[in-house]
Each structure stands twice: as C-alpha cells, then as structure tokens.
C-alpha cells in the first residue's frame, strides 16, 4: 500500500529545517525532490485541466513535463517551490514519448541529474512528487506519496477513446499517480535520485484500469539529448504538416496521440478565419462540406482546396454549431 507523506510538515511554507518527526526513510528523498519539482498553469479545454507538474533538469531553467493542453496557452506560468513565478515557453516536443521541454529565464536553480533507473528492483521504495488536484498554487510544497516499485512493462493504453501514442517501457508502481495535475511530476528512489517522470493519466487496455506509471529517466534523457526546437514556434501554417497548402489562417491544437480532435489553438490576425469569426477553442466539424473528426482529417480536407475558393467551415462553440463562410488564402 502506498502511503501519503505530508509535505507541509517538511516545509510549513517556510524555510524552517526539517523537523525530527520527518526524519524517516523518506526524508532525504523529499528534501531532494521538493525544490526540483515545479507547478505549471496554462490553457484548459473541456475535461483537459489547465494545471500540471514538471521537473527541473538544469540550473538555467530547463523543465521537462508531459504534453498537454496547458502548454497551448500563450502564457504558461511556472511556479517554483519557493513561490517565484516565471513565464515559460515550449522549446521542444516529442509526440511519441508525450513529452515537452519548457524554459524559463532563471539561474542557479537546483535540478535533477538525468541518470538511470536500472538499479530499481521490484519491491524497492519509490516516491512521487507532484501537484495533484492543484493542491499547491504558490510557495506550498508539492505532494509526496511513497509506495513500491512493481516492475517494468510495455505500456498498452488508451486515453479516453484514443489509443495512447507511447508504447515503450514504463515503471509501474502502486502509488496512485493517475490523477489530475500529477503528470509531469517526479518519481524518485529512496535517496532522492530521479528514476522516472509521471506519465499522463491513461487506461491500461489489458486490465481496463488506470495505469500508475512513470517514463524511465532514460527516456527523459533521450528526449532532452535529442534536442531541436519545436517547429510550431515559428510555423504559420494551418497545421504542422500544411505549410505549402492553401490556408485559412488558423492553427490547431496538437498534443500528440493517434486521434487528435480539430480544436483551434490560434487564429492569425487579419486572416480569412479571423474575418469569418472563427475563434480559439472552436472545434472544427467540417471544411467545404467534408466532415472533420481529427487534425489529420482537417489536413486531408485542406488538400482538396485551392486558393481563392469560397467555402464554409462548420464549428462547434460550446453548445452552438456555427457555419462560417470564408475565402481560402494562397499557400506559401
């Protein structure tokens, strides 16, 4: 059984030393993880929460977290353990691993070394550090739970009705980490060394139960070392793969997974979509009479269009279904 470790006893929202009551086998791990886990706040849509967790991986403000809707906000807020707040920017994404890297302008920060998890044996203690249910919003410590490492297995899961993109090895634990806000938090061993990153909440397709797991730290290191900037930071096309297609002047949410609903992330000023009244958060249902159920189908529908073509785009906004007439713009 996993056990809850009261983080407020550790810090009491002050810099007071750890009390003798907390000098348990978990005290070292808690002390190590507390300043290295951050709280994230950003966009939300539908059942997708606008908060989560992340881990510091460098002294100059590099943070790794999971891909999620919150990263699509134009103003991502990063809160450190001491309550300091920074604006974060996404610099890299990995759709297969469902990871993202954020950077903040800060220096001299404590951070996790990206070592390895091969020393873990089934039955070893493992500790989670994250911000489930947005319990901490300022200088309050994140929440800690202690449990055991159950073993490794290939992940076969779904997220709601969609197959989950990541199918590699994960660290399984009896700690309940499949909770809102926990994704992106740390899994550490009894000495406080990072062994994994808490993954997104998914249903295991073999057991039809919530999967409590983390991506091994080796996967985090592979993502970070791969490098590369997020191509969507500079792309102006309607979708990541549509730079040369006729355009409407909008960009879709793209948070990974095999089926991605065609939600509008951003509408470019002065574009055909903006003039037609399409807004961020609209769900595209059809383009020029072609039904659209995903980002991929949106791309396919765009390939059938030509410049200066008059069309209708049907969107769902809240409970309303709206038809937006517009004229297609030329591709680049």
90-100 pLDDT, tens digit per residue, is: 999 888 899 99
pLDDT value at position 15? 36
Does the structure show a pLDDT above 50 at 243? Answer: no
pLDDT at 242 > cutoff 50: no
State the greatest distance between any 2 C-alpha atoms of the chain, in Å, as a whole number.
Answer: 73
More confident residue, 175 or 238: 175
More confident residue, 302 or 128: 128
CB atoms within 10 A of CB 20: 7
User: What per-residue confidence (pLDDT) applies to 110?
Assistant: 98
Average predicted confidence (pLDDT) for the chain: 85
Give me the mean pLDDT over the 29-37 stretch. 96
Contacts of residue 17, defined as CB under 8 A and 6 or more positions apart, other chains included, come to: none
Provide the whole-model pTM. 0.68
As a CATH number, domain 235-327 is 2.30.42.10
Query: In the predicted model, is pLDDT for residue 16 greater than 80?
Result: no
Question: Above 70 in pLDDT, residue 42?
Answer: yes
Among 12-26, 181-195, 225-239, the minimum mean pLDDT is found in: 225-239
Report the pLDDT value the prediction gives residue 331, as an integer from 0 to 100: 54
Domain with CATH 2.30.42.10 in the chain: 235-327
Q: Is the pLDDT of residue 8 over 50?
A: no
Which residues of the chain are in CATH 2.40.10.120 domains?
3-226
pLDDT at residue 18 above 90? no
* pLDDT (tens digit per residue) in 271-300: 899 999 999 888 999 998 888 888 888 888
Question: For residue 47, what are its two tokens?
Answer: 């059942």
Residue 114 has pLDDT above 80, yes or no: yes
Give me the DSSP letters along 148-211: EEEEEEE--EEETTEE-S--SEEEEESS---STTTTT-EEE-TT--EEEEE----EETTTTEE-
What percent of the chain shows pLDDT beyond 90? 57
Which residues, 6+ apart, have CB-to-CB distance to 318 below 8 Å?
Answer: none
Higher pLDDT pick, 186 / 43: 186
What is the average pLDDT across 3-31?
56
Residue 54 in 3-state DSSP? strand
Q: Which one of 3.30.70.20, 2.40.10.120, 3.40.640.10, 3.20.20.70 gives the CATH number of domain 3-226?
A: 2.40.10.120
Whether the per-residue pLDDT at 70 is higher than 80: the answer is yes
Q: 255 pLDDT exceeds 60?
A: no
The tokens of 112 are what? 């996790």
Of residues 252 and 241, the one with the higher pLDDT is 252
Encoded tokens for 282? 């609209």
Q: Give the pLDDT confidence score for residue 318 in this predicted structure.
A: 85
Q: How much is the average pLDDT of 219-236?
A: 63
In this prediction, residues 120-143 reach a mean pLDDT of 94
The residue with greater pLDDT, 187 or 10, is: 187
Q: 234 pLDDT exceeds 80?
A: no
Question: Taking a C-beta distance cutoff of 8 angstroms, is the pair 75, 121 a contact?
Answer: no
Mean pLDDT, range 253-267, rounded to an integer: 71
Give pLDDT tens digits for 157-173.
998 777 888 999 999 99
Question: Exposed, middle or buried: residue 54 (CB in 10 Å: 0-12, 13-18, 19+)?
Answer: buried
Maximum average pLDDT range among 3-12, 40-49, 215-224, 253-262: 215-224
């Amino acid at each position: 059984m996993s056990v809850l470790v009261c983080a407020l006893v550790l810090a009491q929202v002050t810099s007071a030393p750890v009390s003798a009551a907390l000098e348990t086998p978990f005290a070292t791990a808690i002390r190590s993880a507390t300043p290295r886990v951050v709280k994230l706040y950003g966009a939300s849509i539908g059942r997708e929460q606008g908060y989560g967790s992340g881990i510091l991986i460098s002294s100059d403000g590099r943070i790794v977290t999971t891909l999620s809707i919150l990263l699509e906000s134009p103003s991502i807020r990063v809160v450190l353990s001491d309550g300091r707040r920074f604006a974060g920017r996404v610099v890299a994404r990995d759709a297969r691993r469902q990871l993202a890297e954020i950077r903040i302008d800060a220096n001299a920060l404590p951070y996790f070394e990206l070592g390895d998890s091969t020393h873990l044996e089934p039955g070893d203690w493992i500790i989670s550090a994250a911000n489930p249910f947005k319990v901490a919003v300022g200088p309050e410590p994140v929440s800690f739970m202690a449990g055991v490492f159950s073993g490794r297995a290939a992940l076969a899961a779904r997220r709601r009705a969609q197959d989950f993109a990541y199918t590699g090895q994960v660290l399984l634990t009896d700690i309940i980490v499949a909770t809102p806000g926990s994704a992106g938090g740390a899994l550490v061993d009894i000495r406080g060394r990072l062994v994994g990153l808490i993954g997104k909440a998914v249903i295991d397709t073999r057991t039809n139960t919530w999967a409590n797991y983390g991506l091994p730290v080796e996967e985090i290191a592979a993502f970070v070392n791969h490098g590369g900037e997020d191509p969507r930071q500079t792309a102006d096309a309607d979708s990541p793969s549509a730079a040369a297609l006729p355009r409407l002047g909008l960009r879709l949410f793209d948070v990974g997974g095999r089926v991605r609903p065609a939600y509008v992330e951003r509408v470019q000023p002065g574009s055909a979509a903006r003039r037609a009244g399409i807004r961020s958060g609209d769900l595209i249902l059809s383009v020029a009479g072609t039904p659209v159920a995903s980002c991929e189908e949106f791309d396919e529908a765009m390939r059938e269009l030509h410049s200066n073509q008059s069309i209708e785009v049907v969107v769902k906004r809240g409970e309303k279904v709206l038809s937006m007439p517009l004229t297609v713009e030329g591709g680049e």
